[in-house]
Structure 1
Amino acid sequence: MATTDRQTATLALAHALSAAERGLPVIPLSPTKLPALRSPHRGAPEPVLCRGECGLPGHGVHDATTDPAGIRSLFAAAPWATGYGIACGRPPHHLIGIDLDTKSSTDSVAALRHLALRHLFTIPETVTVLTPSGGRHLWLTGPPDVVVPNSASRLAPGIDVRGAGGYLVGPGSVSAHGAYRLAPGTAELSPAPCPRALLRLITPPARPHHPTQPAPSRPPQGQGLVQFVLAAHEGQRNTRLFWAACRAYENGFGDDLADALTEAAVRAGLTEREAHATIASAERLTSGRGR
């Protein structure tokens, strides 16, 4: 490993340990911003739905920990790591990330301000991380009894939400495109509580509970398609994801399955952006807009 790479890896570990001291669970990230450790179940003949129960590292955000010894062990197993991810939705902070993407044709910062005016909430002063592309991540905290899902451009174009099961690239990390750093004036801040009106916008409404009705015996719709994507090997990922997404949209549950397909594709090795683009292509094709 070159001296510069070794220094970058050492700094990434130091920043990760510092974040863990503040109660933020972390994992090592590669320069692609993906979890640095590959799944120990890759190559298995059947999909393995394991979130770390096997005791081995390589389960993405499920490896995240605040234990210094555990963090050192993860980074020792991934000496190529140049950054770290911070798991969202985990105690004690129950972190929520608002990702404002400047690469979108829409001004995401202005879109968030418009939402604040429309729904009568104030964007609080909070920890803000500047990304290499010119975007920014706002750190907010959520209530322990509310599960905020991950979403991409659902709140508004160019605004992604990182919640339970997702992670934020921590400040001090270095990706293939540059460094992540704290915005001036926010280093001493703590993550601010998410405004209630904003929390309502990013949290899906609770489904009505019908205790007298028996639970359905059949598996959730589309789980076979999710498993099909999870089993993809290198060179098959986009093809399998596109095929599965087309089948889901043709059968009328594409939007409902999109998040699960995205998560499966990321676990199989695609980036989240690649997965979103492939699913969007499938939706356009099946609706006739791609013709």
Structure 2
Amino acid sequence: MNTPLLNAALSAAARGWHVFPLRPSTKRPALHSEQACARTGPCASGHRKWEARATNDPDRIRAAWSRAPFNVGIATGPSGLIVIDLDMPKDQDNGNGSADAPCGAATFEALCERTGQPVPRTRTIRTASGGQHLYFTAPAAVRLHNTAGTLAPLVDTRAWGGYVVASGSVVDGRTYEIEGPALLNPLPPGLLALLIPPHPSTTSPCVPPLTPTARTGRAAEAALTWGRRNVRQAPEGTRNVRLLESARAMGRFVAWGDIPRHVVEDAFQGEGEAAGLTAAECRTTIRSALDWSIRTCRPRTAA
């Protein structure tokens, strides 16, 4: 038994995080494949993959890590985490990459600057490649999944369907280590606004359908009224997400010139603060939502 790796697994589990073994000195899961599954034990009712088998049970962890010096994987979704992975340019460590190529930390900093928010401070892990993992608590009101380059080049996220290598693990002779304080903060609203996918369940409750006979100004007013009500009636724990989806739904009307942007911003700022959100949260969420919606809006004739 490798005591430091076992302790790393138990330490993660003590935080409520769900862990599973990775092959020694690698980032690959050590669990059997579906093809090799004997349909016994945890898989008696059907093959269970690493996300379903991850656990925070100390007894199961001790039993697993008694077999080999496994590295530690953290299943981010079941653990209530979203981790932002700031990667290094490919082959840079081997001398094959350009020394001038920006790393994920640099592109992420530029993203934060463009969206008017400070680079968030939270639990940070230095990876074996020299990159960083930024740990955040995931919002309870929305289920986020993995992304690759959605936020910025060399910036990925791990949530449901993903995992990260825990601190204390060793890959290629390099240890994943905690950098700075081990504090853990929620995902900032501005980043959440960029990660929520634009699927119908996000926008359809807020926007009455446009009809050929509807006057565009009246349609925008009706959408704004509906969106304000959507925020006002949001249950606790869902208010920021409701504010995000309502502001997103108004972006197309702003882009089409049917309603001034400042009218939308002022309306939702008031509703968000009345619902219990801070003024700063409201401003960041509204700005990010409208920026995204205006940037991705289709022409009126294609809507």
**Match runs of 1:79-98 below 5 Å:** 79-81=68-70, 83-91=71-79, 94-98=80-84
Selected match of 2:49 from 19, 35, 59: 59
For the residue of structure 2 that corresponds to 1:155, the secondary structure is strand
Identity %: 39
Do structure 1's residue 103 and structure 2's residue 89 form an aligned pair? yes
Matching residue's letter, 2:26? T
Structure 1 counterpart of 2:128, one-letter code = P
Alignment of 1:203-218 (within 5 A): 203-208=196-201
1:24 to 17, 30, 39: 17
Q: Which residue does 2:32 correspond to in 1?
A: 38
Q: Find 1:170's aligned residue among 149, 166, 170.
A: 166
Measured after TM superposition, the shift of residue 43 of structure 1 is: 4.7
Residue deviations 1:253-279 (CA, integer Å, cap 9, x gap): xxxxxxxxxxxxxxxxxxxxxxxxxxx
Contact 1:13 1:72 in 2 (8 A): yes
| Letter of the structure 2 residue corresponding to residue 129 of structure 1 | I
Residue 80 of structure 1 deviates from its aligned partner by 4.3
Relative to structure 1, the CA distance from residue 54 to residue 65 in structure 2 (aligned partners, 3 Å threshold; closer, same or farther) is same
1:75 maps onto 2:65 in alignment: yes
Question: Could you say if the C-alpha distance between residues 14 and 203 of structure 1 is closer, same or farther in structure 2, counting changes exceeding 3 Å?
Answer: same
Q: Secondary structure at the match of 1:27?
A: strand
SS, match of residue 34 in structure 1:
coil
TM-score, normalization by structure 2: 0.57
What runs of 5+ residues in structure 1 fail to find an aligned partner? Answer: 1-5, 212-291
Task: Please give the alpha-carbon distance, in whole angstroms, between the structure 1 residues aligned to 2:145 and 2:200.
Answer: 14
Counting matched residue pairs gives 191
Partner AA of 2:65 in structure 1: F
Report the RMSD for the aligned CA atoms in angstroms. Answer: 2.7
| Partner residue of 1:200 out of 178, 187, 193 | 193
Give unpaired runs (5+ residues) of structure 2.
91-100, 206-303
Could you state the TM-score of these two structures normalised by the residue count of structure 1?
Answer: 0.59
Whether the aligned pair in 1 keeps the contact of 2:13 and 2:57 (CA below 8 Å) is yes
Measured in 1, the distance between the counterparts of 2:181 and 2:22 equals 23
Q: Which residue of 2 aligns with 1:120?
A: 116
**Aligned to 1:13, what secondary structure does the other structure show?**
helix
